[in-house]
Chain A
């Protein structure tokens, strides 16, 4: 298993943008955006968008629901917030934005990760109460998708504002703590089979993984509680920790493969040697 994960991840992120732009170039294999799309004849839908639409309008189209389930199960399999780390253009944008801001600002924790859950709840309550799909209205993901596919540029003020705030005041605050879609995926992916595993015996405690992690909170249980896997749904599966770890103390794999090995062999020594 190679440790160079950044390349395929950037390829997928760029590929997503190219896919969104492909109808402009006249290709027909893809249409729509991340809220709902048709890829090679398969209808895919954002489960949160679907949820809002169904709650807000009372209209239920089976193929729409099926598309949302398909996407949900996909992200369930890949786990965590892999959507955020691999697909979402806003995630991509804020990551790039972060590169340009000062190194010292990396990995800040402006708001707790759990804030997203409350926002998600607020979104769902709003749509149920007023019929306004709050997140579809505000979503920078939709805005970016439409900016790419339809050159609808004025609303780019919203992602630009996010970049601005993140750049100078609250690093990665949108993706980490505010985005309700991220929160939604974090919830459904808590039990996903694909996990980042921790080989405690190789860890030198250099802390590079924490420094590079966009959501370092998810790594904390590895030391604080001696966990042998990253279980938190907030992990974006960006696998930057795998890339950066000089000792290869982190790996990625499906739970059913890794569990017997890591739980028994790696888990116990941590408890014993815990300070």
Chain B
């Protein structure tokens, strides 16, 4: 009863389409997909996630890539990855806009799936990562200049970053005011990385490494 299908016969045009265009289309499609998924997500393997993000591997599964955290961020600091296996997951490009540590954590509240742990309530207990001075030779403050921008901009000034003054032997009469990161206080918000005045920031947020607590008692 239904009509004979139109595509039952193979016309010349259809042959061309099916025969030549289809493989081409598939090849282009594969290239397109590959360019999205095979490009590296983050060069040094660490992605700065929004506050309260659960451990990296579980985060990738728990995050449903809905972008609500990004929409909740008043500073537009949270962006969504557009490549690799983490596609659609939120991250913070601290050099562009760091996390300003809203006390009410709107991003955590927005997260539906628990990828940002809803038990996160105190912003100062957050561990997004840990700031680290990665180029001590480049750091202007360590070279004796009065920079210390990272220290003064740190939202946990005098806790997460302190200044440790020491004599500057080169001039003989000045002080080197070295910014020192305290990993037990640093939340990894990236404000320091954002503020660093050098073209390649010498203080950057890296993965928080759990320090082995020794139990030696002397």
Q: Are A157 and B36 in contact (CB under 8 A)?
A: yes
Distance of A270 Cα from B18 Cα, bound (Å)? 38
- Cβ-based interface call for A152 (8 A): yes
Q: Which of A32, A50, A104, A155 contacts B14 (CB 8 A)?
A: A104
**In the complex, which residues 30-45 of chain B have their Cβ closer than 8 Å to any Cβ of chain A?**
30, 32-33, 35-37
Q: Are A152 and B80 in contact (CB under 8 A)?
A: yes
Q: Are B112 and A64 in contact (CB under 8 A)?
A: yes
- Cβ-based interface call for B201 (8 A): no
Q: Are B3 and A165 in contact (CB under 8 A)?
A: no
- Cβ-based interface call for B63 (8 A): yes
Decide yes or no: A38 and B68 within 8 Å by CB, A57-B115, A223-B2 being known contacts.
yes
Q: Are B72 and A31 in contact (CB under 8 A)?
A: yes
Q: Which of A45, A67, A105, A207 contacts B3 (CB 8 A)?
A: A207
Among A50, A60, A162, A165, max chain B CB count under 10 A is at: A165
Interface 1/0s, chain A 101-112, versus B by CB < 8 A? 001111110000
Which residue on chain A has the smallest CB distance to residue B62?
A57
Q: Are B114 and A206 in contact (CB under 8 A)?
A: no
Q: How far is the CB of A219 from chain B (nearest CB, A)?
A: 9
Enumerate chain A residues within 8 angstroms of B112, measured Cβ to Cβ: 32, 36, 38, 43, 45, 61, 63-64, 67
Distance of A162 Cα from B28 Cα, bound (Å)? 10
Enumerate chain A residues within 8 angstroms of B35, measured Cβ to Cβ: 154, 157
**In the complex, which residues 131-179 of chain A have their Cβ closer than 8 Å to any Cβ of chain B?**
131-133, 136-138, 142-143, 145-146, 149-150, 152-155, 157-158, 160-162, 164-165, 167-170
Tell me the interface secondary structure of chain B in the complex.
Answer: helix
Q: Are B115 and A59 in contact (CB under 8 A)?
A: yes
Distance of A78 Cα from B6 Cα, bound (Å)? 32
Q: Are A160 and B64 in contact (CB under 8 A)?
A: no
Enumerate chain B residues within 8 angstroms of A119, measured Cβ to Cβ: none
Distance of A155 Cα from B82 Cα, bound (Å)? 6
- Cβ-based interface call for A252 (8 A): no
- Cβ-based interface call for B25 (8 A): yes
Decide yes or no: A53 and B113 within 8 Å by CB, A59-B58, A146-B65, A157-B35 being known contacts.
yes
Q: How far is the CB of A210 from chain B (nearest CB, A)?
A: 5
Enumerate chain A residues within 8 angstroms of B63, measured Cβ to Cβ: 53, 136
Q: Are B68 and A168 in contact (CB under 8 A)?
A: no
Among B6, B32, B37, B85, max chain A CB count under 10 A is at: B32
Enumerate chain A residues within 8 angstroms of B118, measured Cβ to Cβ: 61
Q: How far is the CB of A68 from chain B (nearest CB, A)?
A: 9
| Interface residue tally on A, bucketed by range | 35 or more
- Cβ-based interface call for B211 (8 A): no
Distance of A50 Cα from B63 Cα, bound (Å)? 9
Q: Which of B5, B24, B32, B59 contacts A57 (CB 8 A)?
A: B59
**In the complex, which residues 42-89 of chain B have their Cβ closer than 8 Å to any Cβ of chain A?**
54, 57-68, 70-72, 79-80, 82-83, 85, 87-88
Which residue on chain A has the smallest CB distance to residue B55?
A57
Q: Which of B1, B30, B65, B83 contacts A136 (CB 8 A)?
A: B65
Enumerate chain B residues within 8 angstroms of A161, measured Cβ to Cβ: 28-30, 32-33
Enumerate chain B residues within 8 angstroms of A155, measured Cβ to Cβ: 36, 82-83, 87-88
Distance of A58 Cα from B57 Cα, bound (Å)? 11
Q: Which of A107, A131, A137 contacts B37 (CB 8 A)?
A: A137
Distance of A103 Cα from B82 Cα, bound (Å)? 35
- Cβ-based interface call for A33 (8 A): yes
Distance of A195 Cα from B79 Cα, bound (Å)? 42
Enumerate chain A residues within 8 angstroms of B67, measured Cβ to Cβ: 32-33, 145-146, 149-150
Enumerate chain A residues within 8 angstroms of B7, measured Cβ to Cβ: 104-105, 107-108
Which residues of A come within 8 Å of B, CB atoms? 23, 31-33, 35-38, 43, 45-46, 49-50, 52-53, 55-61, 63-64, 67, 103-108, 127, 131-133, 136-138, 142-143, 145-146, 149-150, 152-155, 157-158, 160-162, 164-165, 167-170, 205-207, 210-211, 223
* Known A32-B67, A108-B7, A168-B25; 14 more pairs at CB < 8 Å: A36-B66, A38-B110, A45-B113, A103-B6, A104-B14, A131-B57, A131-B58, A143-B88, A150-B67, A164-B29, A169-B22, A169-B26, A207-B1, A210-B3
